[in-house]
Structure 1
């Protein structure tokens, strides 16, 4: 059990690097990228990264995985990114961050509905605590609300929450690595964003060396590497536990703004960080598997013999590691 817990903690720690890196997006976007091109930026983040991973892994989806890759790519990448930018442009950044931080709560509900985990009061409380902590960190008293922006932010949270649960429920085909699966989703999401960017913003802007460097960082580190870690974590740990790690992103963005941009950091924001971290940690506990099968067609359990129990115990350790 100690080995299993250590392996799970290591998996979650490694997965947590993804939202920490995503927290740098605001700094990179405002410092290195051309202004007022959100859809082009979203496209440049995901499509080149997806094509690069496809070229490296040389695996393409086939059969039912073609539609599944596009469904997951739409929820986790295309829809989420587009809706997030709509919310960010129509709402103050703090309001958008708080609304999208509701994704863990949606994930808890979707996981219960899908039969992956039991509905956990502890995780619901953890989600509310995390949401409150993020609100203290990023929300300002003068923040204004825009109806379309709020709807877009909630839709982005729903897309991310449901996409995380579907990623866990469907798993991946035999012989397909997490890196290849990441490439499928990024490419599918990028292809869905392509017409949106073309219609909304027209021709791409002229890019200088600074812009290209910013896009390279977002594409390689902030997308290819970060999403590979994220989807690896979903495969190895509880989907809702991984989703709670997303609360680290606005905290990372706040710290980067304080260090790199000289933004102020008030005591109330520090308190909010502590509360949000508490919600994140609480979200890693208190979830058990559902009594339902975790996937369609899952085999029924056999009567447990001493040898069978030993094999089950060994399999659980390998899964957690």
Structure 2
């Protein structure tokens, strides 16, 4: 089977209180479709949790305007730790998530009224954007983007991508191009001193051509990754001496088809899967095949081949994707039925 990267399914966020984080993003950024909530033991992730199978609770929430979702992830038997030192622009790992936004000015005013911390001005570079820090310490970039899967009243859509710190730009670009199909160079420049840093750094923005997209590809939409290489200091790993699931952005997850072909390609390019659920995992309301690989600096990339998702749990309605054409997107009306999972008040 030909492998397909359908889009960014979600970005994982390690948190102290899964309900509190879900409620904030539901209320203020319209991630109000709760695709699943699940409590289980992360038995396959012991490589990244000091050899211990940790119990966790996870929510996956979506914004139906279009884009990736949030996997909000909380340890149940240990208190997650924060980075020892403040995370700096260009440190290795996921520095920020990108959220698509059709009206930056209105969203900027809204967040200013909310008094979010570290709210930057709107900056025009390769595209218009601004940054802020959510109430839980996570850096977020709002990026002007007009892709719409389903018209909603919200000012913003879902996850567009991520800002990732790297040590060697050429090596990282080769990884993201070869393994994940980020072959389009949108921006490449050496910059100094911005709202994040007074350091010198190289900024590269890459995207996918999306010639072949299946499943939920229309909902997830086009994506972009922003790679940052600091040129005048030695960056540190954001998750140095911490566990997967500790506070912050723990992984970037792609919705894929043809997992076996991706596994072979990754192995042949010296980026073998570090975790592989082999056939199928079950997260209560959802099921599929998941794997993890590391980018050249150890940033965790999750790959998920979705087999089953809930449509209307109360009636036992689930969508089985296992036997349908993986290179054909789902009918729009069917994907819109995920709106039955909308949460209208705090959990």
TM-score, with normalisation over the residues of structure 2? Answer: 0.24
Bigger RCO (CA 8 Å, 6+ sep): 1
Q: Which has the larger radius of gyration?
A: 1
Give the strand-richer structure, 1 or 2.
Answer: 2
